[in-house]
Amino acid sequence: MDKFDKATRSHVMSKVRSKDTMPEKNVRSVAYSLGLRFRLHRKDLPGTPDLVFPKWRLAVFVHGCFWHGHDCPHGKQKPMTNVEFWQHKIGGNIRRDIEVQEALVKLGWHVLVIWECQVKTDAVANALANAIEVQKLSGFSHFQNC
């Protein structure tokens, strides 16, 4: 049973955004504090990554645990109403995420997914630093066609 009436639930859901979310803004802040420069929401790349590091050919997605079916307490939480719709919706998101990541890899990009539950930990800084280091070691640079 939903704890909100239909109008309140509609209002709450209308406030859910796909870009410029708080987790995404937190990841941007961490990246900037590490001295990394990036572009936002490049529409010319599959899936419109949240952050793009063209110099390192790195695409970063900041995924909400619930919306993208993460294997954590928030991602495992199942809705109690309209269950079939939400299973279809989240399953579709997961399938699309895989397709987008494969398309980016085919174009020569590396993909990093940062989950909402990781944002409040040191995992973000470590993941970004490690991904950039891997790119440096693999020889990618800003001179390649971005």
Q: What is the pLDDT of residues 104-143, one digit of tens each?
A: 999 999 999 999 999 977 888 889 988 888 877 766 544 3
pLDDT at 10: 63
CATH of domain 19-137: 3.40.960.10
SS3 label, residue 71: coil
- Full DSSP string of 24-49: HHHHHHHHHHTT---EE--TTSTT--
pLDDT at 102: 97
| CA angle in degrees (0–180, nearest 5) for 89-94-54 | 125
Residue 72, CA atoms < 13 Å, CB-side half-sphere: 13
Q: Enumerate the domain spans of the chain.
A: 19-137
Q: Report how far residue 4's alpha carbon sits from residue 10's, in angstroms, rounded to the nearest whole number.
A: 9
Task: Name which of 15-19, 22-26, 48-52, 113-117 the model is least confident about.
Answer: 15-19
pLDDT at 54: 94
| Letter string b/e over residues 62-75, b meaning 16 or more CB atoms within 10 A of that residue's CB | bbbbbbbbbeeeeb
pLDDT > 80? residue 12: no
pTM: 0.82
**Mean pLDDT, range 36-42, rounded to an integer:** 94
